[in-house]
């Protein structure tokens, strides 16, 4: 049962971490675009796009790994019963 609890805690922490990343990039985008020169906006938008793609890719990877970890956890619990 402790293994299941640890898995759930790690998943919860990862979701909170991902939410904070998404929040930080949205704040960065809003603050930088408001004060940057018009000619630099393209580069700021590119940076935000690349950083957002990294966050999106990390979220997909987390989802795939998390679902497989949950599957193994539930299969182990089912086999023990």
Reference 15, options 57, 59, 55; nearest CA is 59
For residues 13 and 41, the model is more confident at 13
pLDDT in tens, 44-81: 777 777 877 887 887 788 788 878 888 888 888 888 87
Counting the structural domains of the chain, the total is 1
pLDDT > 90: what percent of the chain? 0
Residue 22, number of CB atoms within 10 A of its CB:
14
pLDDT at 2: 55
pLDDT at 32: 67
Global pTM reads 0.50
Q: What is the DSSP string of 42-78?
A: HHHHHHHHHHHHHHHHHHHHHHHHHHHHHHHHHHHHH
């Amino acid at each position: 049962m402790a293994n299941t609890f640890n898995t759930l805690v790690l998943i919860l922490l990862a979701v909170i971490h991902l939410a904070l990343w998404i929040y930080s990039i949205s704040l960065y985008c809003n603050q930088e675009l408001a004060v940057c020169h018009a000619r630099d906006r393209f580069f700021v938008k590119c940076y935000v796009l690349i950083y957002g793609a990294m966050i999106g890719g990390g979220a997909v990877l987390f989802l795939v790994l998390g679902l497989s970890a949950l599957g193994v956890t539930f299969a182990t619990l089912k086999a023990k019963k």
